[in-house]
A and B are shown apart, each in its own frame.
Chain A
Amino acid sequence: MDGEALNQAVIALEPAAAKREKADRPAVQVPPEKLAALALALRDEPALAFDLLLDHTAIDWIAEERFELVYVLYSTVHGHYLMVTTSVPRGAPVVPTVSAVWPIAHWQEREVFDLMGIQYDDHPDLRRLFLEDEWQGHPLRKDYKDDHMLGLPK
């Protein structure tokens, strides 16, 4: 199915979802508590069959005090793409894990936790992926201060 039809199908599946504008491919926005259920539905719904989680990342909208998590999905059966995003307040960035639905999310979520500091609840093995375990702070946040980082000379 192409872009618009895909959006309608997902919104029909999950009424709380809304279309996310300003994206170059069909994108759906969903509140965090509905994420786990939608993920399961997206994979098991024969019409959608999103079985490949291509990419999972997080964006730090510091001005709007929220983190936006992006899941890019692909269906090897139908060959269409979908971007699922969910927003979480910066104060309590806790999101249900989807590693039960897509096993690769286990490590992609660990990377986002390591660099962005988003907690995934009942994630089987949540620990830092790249940095040492006693690293203070999460580097990819916009307000991350570190005197080791040399600024560009003016």
Chain B
Amino acid sequence: MDYFLVLLFVGLSAFFVLGGLGFSYLIAPHKPGRIKNAPYECGEQPIGGAWIQFNVGYYLFGLLFLVFDVEAAFLYPWAVAFRDAGLTGLVEALIFLLVLIVGLVYAWKKSALEWV
């Protein structure tokens, strides 16, 4: 029976997301043009292509962010069910955090965090 709430929740969120996009998709005028699709550079023609070799630091930062973002996402359900998870739940969460802390320290020592 209580699955109805989950269905309602999923339905509402889908409605808001798809409804917003769909409504504006139907109603908003859509006139793509050559200049309109050109990349915006403060009113100037962009110089040179964007397909270049750039610094690897961007990728490293992106990766680290992804890892710790997902970690935060996992912590949310644990925090909700914190009270009835009892002591075992707490220890498991700490172990999970510890593993990620080790990863962070490793990245720190390998100076992946310093921006070159």
* A touching B, CB within 8 angstroms: no
A interface, CB within 8 angstroms of B? none
B interface, CB within 8 angstroms of A? none
